Structure 1
Amino acid sequence: MKSPNKLLFVFLLVSSTYLVASSSNWLTTWMGLEINMLGYIPLVFMKENTSESEAAVKYLIPQSLGSTIFISSAIISSYFNNLQILMPIAMCLKLGVAPFHFWFPPVMASLQLMPAFILLTWQKIAPILAVSSFNMQLTKMIMPIAMISALWGGIGGINQTDIRSLLTYSSIGHTGWMLVSINSNYSILIAYLFTYILINTSIYSLLSKEDSKSYKQLFSVKEPMKIFILSISILSLGGLPPLVGFVMKLLVLMFTEAKMMIIFGLIIGALMSLFYYLSLTFSTLLSFTKTYLTKSQMMSKQMMLFFLSQILPLTMILFFF
């Protein structure tokens, strides 16, 4: 961020999320969502080119539509309770879950890496917290949307070889899992959201250090160690056991109150996501022989810390259960 005024918009981004998390009425929640949207749009302009302007407009229109539907439904629902269902649908539009994801892939394709990372991670917190504040009846109504989103996240990424498209459809699928985790336990929702952000942070930290401007190819980095860590992070995002992404999905399945058909759809979507992640990373992982992995340059402190952060959650669950 070259401009110092970007710090103001980052502050608006963070403070608006806390406003949504601490709000006690729909008006405050709507204000927090609007401030969150207005704080993010200036952060989109990193290079100040036409593609970023197009991405900002494509982001602004569905977000404004979702906010309008949300506040209108909140006002009218005091007279007609049947219209409360529009409130979680408005949040699903703001989250970009299927079948309301029409704006999400084009926006991600036009963004630079840093705004795209913020859109994948931080911008999901406020709408997810708003959905978690709904009553149980409304959250159960959006379970079919969560199942469709998980399935579409697996189907949409099958033929993708671009890192941005993979992360986009992975985000659509993981958002479906987050919506289902709302119906299980609030602590599981927070843990799932936090784990998802950490895994994306590891992928972003590897991609941001490269000199390439496109960041399009999945394994464009030249160092074998970075390719290996990137592969493990992507497999963890796909939910391969015993990595941490699998542990969080297992917790959701254990404690959710969703119907069996919803759970079956989530599992099918996760398996499809894991299929194309394995197909992309399998040849890369096989290239690392046992002799090469035992070299001293591969056993650095950062490498050991990375493996502990990916495998330790499973050992903790086996210890307590």
Structure 2
Amino acid sequence: MKSPNKLLFMFLMVSSTCMVASSSNWLMTWMGLEINMLGYIPLMFMKESSSESEAAVKYLVPQSLGSTIFIASAIISSYFNNLQILMLIAMCLKLGVAPFHFWFPPVMASLQLTPAFILLTWQKIAPILAISSMNSLLIKAIMPIATISALWGGIGGLNQTDIRSLLTYSSIAHTGWMLVSINSNYIILIAYLTTYILINMSIYTFLSKEHTKSYKQLFSSKEPEKVFILAITILSLGGLPPLMGFIMKLLVLMFTEAKTIIISGLILGALVSLFYYLSLTFSTLLSFNKVHLTKSQMTSKQAILFLLSQIMPLTLILFLF
């Protein structure tokens, strides 16, 4: 990732997201999404293995299909307004929300940790911003998809043993919450995205140091303070009160204009997700005693990212509301 060509593609990916955020027409939005896709694909090749080539093809085909549907429906919608719903479906395909998530778990399973983290976090920003720029009637039409995504993300993660698969289905569930936050307040959407990215960054920092794949290896570190921080961060990702992940979901429910059945589906999906996160971390938290806590030195990068993921979004909300 330190080579100049990687830095160039990173710049393309970041600048294209800014292009989508600042675009005033659908053509500029489409161009930003295309540059974003083309800037990310070379970053998928960390070790130049055959699995990464397979993941790149599995990523390219649905993304290209989504972009084609988006620009075609944008052109046709100037004559037939009813076809604007296809633009919404195209963005859902690019996001990987259920039931358009068929490409997302296989791509995540074949990627190295760094491109997988980028796919989980940064690559969600541009399609969500494109959806938020649509009219309110289209945004209301996306609410059933958001509920299906939250439920499927919770159910899909129940029988997973690989930590990357758990994060994949958690991402599908959280994307449903992000789509609902579009229908509430723009500040809530930005704060939710910030919280989600910071929590995932904290988990990514731990995984990159420990080189773990199975959830049984996840809490086998010899440094108990890091294990404790990781367990709390995962529970925050699952939405356990009173952690930051729960506060963000509570704010979405308070400010959203969605119907009761949509809210009920979101809560049910969050409870299922929290169930497998609790089962993942319960034994670790029980074995963590006061002696370990007093001996812990909270100076590592994981501790700093943990504090940022829990404190920074809260201060953002206090300043903006």
| TM-score under structure 1 length normalisation | 0.93
Mapped partners of 1:313, 1:109: distance in 2: 30
Contact 1:70 1:86 in 2 (8 A): yes
Mapped partners of 1:253, 1:66: distance in 2: 29
Residues 1:202 and 2:211 are matched in the alignment: no
Mapped partners of 2:73, 2:141: distance in 1: 16
Contact 1:242 1:311 in 2 (8 A): no
Q: Which residue of 2 aligns with 1:24?
A: 24
- Offset, 1:316: 10
- Offset, 1:312: 8.2
User: Which amino acid in 1 is paired with 2:13?
Assistant: L
Q: Which residue of 2 aligns with 1:215?
A: 213
Consecutive unaligned residues of structure 2, counting only runs of 5 or more, are none
Q: Which residue of 1 aligns with 2:169?
A: 169
Consecutive unaligned residues of structure 1, counting only runs of 5 or more, are none
SS in 2 for 1:59: helix
SS in 1 for 2:16: helix
Q: Which residue of 2 aligns with 1:100?
A: 100
Contact 2:198 2:308 in 1 (8 A): no
- Offset, 1:225: 1.7
Q: Which residue of 1 aligns with 2:159?
A: 159
Contact 1:180 1:258 in 2 (8 A): yes
Residues 1:135 and 2:135 are matched in the alignment: yes
- Offset, 1:144: 0.1
Q: Which residue of 1 aligns with 2:67?
A: 67
Contact 1:247 1:313 in 2 (8 A): no
Mapped partners of 1:112, 1:301: distance in 2: 23
Seen in structure 2, the aligned counterparts of structure 1 residues 232 and 71 have a Cα distance that, compared at 3 Å, is: same
Seen in structure 2, the aligned counterparts of structure 1 residues 314 and 74 have a Cα distance that, compared at 3 Å, is: closer
Mapped partners of 1:101, 1:49: distance in 2: 24
- Offset, 1:226: 1.6
Q: Which residue of 2 aligns with 1:291?
A: 291
User: Which amino acid in 1 is paired with 2:272?
Assistant: M
Mapped partners of 2:136, 2:142: distance in 1: 10
Contact 2:191 2:313 in 1 (8 A): no
Mapped partners of 1:130, 1:172: distance in 2: 18
Identity %: 82
Contact 2:194 2:313 in 1 (8 A): no
Contact 1:244 1:310 in 2 (8 A): yes
- Offset, 1:3: 2.9
- Offset, 1:315: 10
Q: Which residue of 2 aligns with 1:229?
A: 229
User: Which amino acid in 1 is paired with 2:73?
Assistant: S
Seen in structure 2, the aligned counterparts of structure 1 residues 288 and 10 have a Cα distance that, compared at 3 Å, is: same
SS in 2 for 1:187: helix
Mapped partners of 2:176, 2:55: distance in 1: 24
Contact 1:236 1:244 in 2 (8 A): yes
- Offset, 1:313: 6.6
